[in-house]
Amino acid sequence: MSLKPDGSIFFKPTLGPRKLIKVKQKQMYRKTVLENGVRVVTEKMPGVRSLTIGVLVEAGSADETAELNGVAHCIEHMLFKGTTQRDATSLARLIDLAGGQLGAFTARDYTCLYATVLDDYRTFALEIFGDILLHSLFDNESLQREKAAILQELEAGEETPAKLTQEILKQAVWQGYSLGQNIYGQRESVLRLSQADLRQFYQQYYRGEGLIVAAAGNLDHDDFAAQVYDALWALPSANVQPTEKERKAPAFQAGVALRQRNSAQVYFALGAPALPYTDPERYSLFVLNAILGAGMSSRLYQGVRDQKGWVFDIASSYHPYRQAGLLVVEGFTTPENLLPVLETVVGQLINLLSEPVNEEELWRAKEYLRGEILISAETSSSRMSQLATQELYFGRFLPLEELVEGVRQVQAEDILALAANMFQPDQLALAAIGPFKAAEQTALQQQLEELLGIQASAINLTPIPREEKGV
C-alpha cells in the first residue's frame, strides 16, 4: 500500500511568488505538503456554503509518560487561554463571532482543533488557529485555573457510569501501557503539571510534520493551501518524522474488575482484543461488529433486548488505535440479570467462532455498513474527520467506493477465522459498576471469571471520565 496518494501537490513556499507543482488529481480530493512538513488535505463539496476545518496534531495520551499523564489534554485547554496577540476573552469573542463552532478534543492517538464556519470565514478561522498554535502563552495563572477545571472533568466522569465502565476496561486491559492511560490524566499527575512540562511536550510534538490540516466544503484547494501557509509558515519542522515514533504495542490483559456504586442498575463493558486501525482484515471486523451488536437487528439487541427484555439497550463497538484495538460489548441491567445477560453475550461470541454467518445476515450487515459509510459522508464535518484520520493512519485518501468495496468483499469464512482469533477464554475482560454487596462480591467475581473462562489478575483501577472529548 502506497503511503503517498496519487494526486498529491507539493507546495514549496519561497520568498518570491508561491510555486505549486501540479499533478493529476482524483475526484475532489487534493493534497499539499508545505515546506515545513504540514500536510494540507481537502475535499470540495459542491452545493454547500459551509466549511469544516480541522487541525490534527499527532500527539495524544498514548504519547505521554505516566508521570506526565494528562499533559496533551492540558495543552489542548491552554491553547484557548491567551496568546501574545490576544487574551482569553478576545479569543472567546472571536470564536463566538464565528458562530461558536470552534473547539478541540484530545484522543489517545492525536489532538484535534476544529471549526465549522461559512466559507467566507475561512481566513478568519485559519488566523485563529495560527495564533493559538504559534503564540500561546501557557502562563502559570491560566494553567492553575485549567488544572482545576480538568479535575472537575475527572470528577464529572465518575458520575457517568456508562462511559466510566468503558474507560475502566481500557485501563485494565492495557494496564502499564500508555494506550491504557486516562486521557484526562490522574489527579496527582494533573496537579504536578508545570509550564515547563507543557512547553516541552508542545515543542516536541507541535511540529510541521506532526500537523495535518484537513478541510471539506466550499473551497478552492490552492487558495486554501496558500492561506494555511500564511497562518502556519513559522511552525518549525521536526527532526524526526512522526511516522517514525515508536510506541510499545500493548499486551491484552484478561480480568474482571468490579466497582461498587449505589445504583439501581449494573453497568458493564466486556472487551476482547481487536485489530489496530490499519490492519488489512479490519473490514471483516466491521462486518462482525455489525452482526454482533451494531444495530437494532443485531444478535445482541435481538437476543438480549427484544426477546428477553433484560436490558434497555445493549451494543457492541470497535475501538481502533494505531497500536491495538478493542471490541467492546456494553450495556446496563439489573443486578439479578447480570449473569444471564453475560451468559447470552458469551454464547453469541462462541456462536460467531463456531458457526458460519448465513448469507442473509451477512448481506444485511453489509447493507447497514454501506448506508453508514455513505450517509456519514454527507456533512462537511464528517468528511473533514475522515480526511484527517485517513491521512494520519494511512497516509493517503480512501475513496468512499474503496470503503464500500472493502465491506462488500468480506465472506462468512473471514468472520469465522477472525472470531476464532479474537474470542478466546484467556482473552476476555470485564468491567462492571453497580450495587455489589461486599459479602457477595468475591463470589460474584469468581462466577464471572468462570463464565468468561479467565482468572482475574490484580488490577489497579483509576477512575477515568468521559470518552475523548475536550473543550
CATH number at residue 269: 3.30.830.10
Domain assignment present for 1: no
Sign for the pseudo-dihedral over CA of 49, 389, 467, 203 = negative
Whole-structure pTM over 0.85, yes or no?
Answer: yes
Q: How far apart are CA 234 and CA 423, in angstroms?
A: 50
Domain co-membership, 26 together with 126: yes
Amino acid at 409: Q
Domain co-membership, 266 together with 119: no
Query: Burial code of 348-386, b = ≥16 C-beta within 10 A, e = fewer?
Result: bbeebbeeebeeebbebbbebbeebbeeeeebbbebbbb
Tell me whether residue 248 is exposed, middle or buried, using C-beta atoms within 10 angstroms of its C-beta: 0 to 12, 13 to 18, 19 or more.
exposed
Domain co-membership, 82 together with 186: yes
Domain assignment present for 465: no
What's the pLDDT at 324? Answer: 97
- Phi, psi of 468, deg, nearest 5: 40, 50
Q: How far apart are CA 385 and CA 129, in angstroms?
A: 17
What's the pLDDT at 92? Answer: 80
Q: How far apart are CA 367 and CA 364, in angstroms?
A: 5
What is the separation, in whole angstroms, between the first and last Cα of the chain? 36
Domain co-membership, 193 together with 309: no
Q: How far apart are CA 296 and CA 402, in angstroms?
A: 26
Q: For residue 302, is it left (φ>0), alpha (ψ between -120 and 50) or beta?
A: alpha
Domain assignment present for 464: no
Q: How far apart are CA 314 and CA 302, in angstroms?
A: 10
Domain co-membership, 276 together with 226: no
What's the pLDDT at 229? Answer: 97
Domain assignment present for 471: no
Domain assignment present for 363: yes
Domain co-membership, 198 together with 267: no
**318 is in which domain, residue-wise?**
255-452
Domain co-membership, 142 together with 89: yes
For residue 42, the cross-strand partners are 30, 215
Radius of gyration over every alpha carbon of the chain, rounded to an integer in angstroms: 23
Domain co-membership, 104 together with 204: yes
Domain co-membership, 287 together with 221: no
| Strand ranges inside 38-169, DSSP E | 39-44, 50-57, 102-106, 111-118
Domain assignment present for 466: no
| Nearest C-alpha neighbor of 11 from the set 40, 51, 47, 48 | 40
What's the pLDDT at 408? Answer: 98
What's the pLDDT at 96? Answer: 78
What's the pLDDT at 23? Answer: 35
Last residue of a domain, one of 195, 218, 244: 244
Domain assignment present for 2: no
| Nearest C-alpha neighbor of 422 from the set 298, 267, 316 | 316
Q: Going by C-beta distance under 8 Å and a sequence separation of 6 or more, which residues neighbour residue 177?
A: 248, 250, 251
Alpha carbons within 13 A on the beta-carbon side of 313? 7
Q: Going by C-beta distance under 8 Å and a sequence separation of 6 or more, which residues neighbour residue 198?
A: 71, 74, 75, 78, 138, 143
Q: How far apart are CA 256 and CA 269, in angstroms?
A: 10
Q: How far apart are CA 250 and CA 199, in angstroms?
A: 28
The neighbour count for residue 119, using CB atoms within 10 Å, is: 14
Domain co-membership, 208 together with 290: no
Q: How far apart are CA 34 and CA 243, in angstroms?
A: 17
Pairing of strands 429-434, 19-21: unpaired
Query: With contact defined as beta carbons under 8 Å apart, do 299 and 291 qualify?
Result: yes
Q: What angle do CA 347, 309, 449 make, to 5 degrees?
A: 35
> Each residue's pLDDT tens digit in the chain (471 positions)?
222 223 333 333 333 333 333 333 446 899 999 999 999 999 999 888 889 999 999 999 999 999 999 999 999 999 999 999 998 888 888 877 766 578 899 999 999 999 999 888 899 899 999 999 999 999 999 999 999 999 999 998 888 898 899 999 999 999 999 999 999 999 999 999 999 999 999 999 999 999 999 999 999 999 999 999 999 999 998 654 444 456 778 999 999 999 999 999 999 999 999 999 999 999 999 999 999 999 899 999 999 999 999 999 999 999 999 999 999 999 999 999 999 999 999 999 999 999 999 999 999 999 999 999 999 999 999 999 999 999 999 999 999 999 999 999 999 999 999 999 999 878 999 999 999 988 888 999 999 999 998 754 434 433 333 334 333
Domain co-membership, 273 together with 210: no
What's the pLDDT at 460? Answer: 40
- How many domains does the chain fold into? 2
Q: How far apart are CA 257 and CA 429, in angstroms?
A: 8
Domain co-membership, 270 together with 238: no
Domain assignment present for 459: no
Q: What angle do CA 328, 382, 103 make, to 5 degrees?
A: 90
Strand order in the sheet with 39-44: 19-21, 8-12, 29-33, 39-44, 211-217, 50-57, 111-118, 102-106
Last residue of a domain, one of 213, 244, 275: 244
Q: Going by C-beta distance under 8 Å and a sequence separation of 6 or more, which residues neighbour residue 354?
A: none
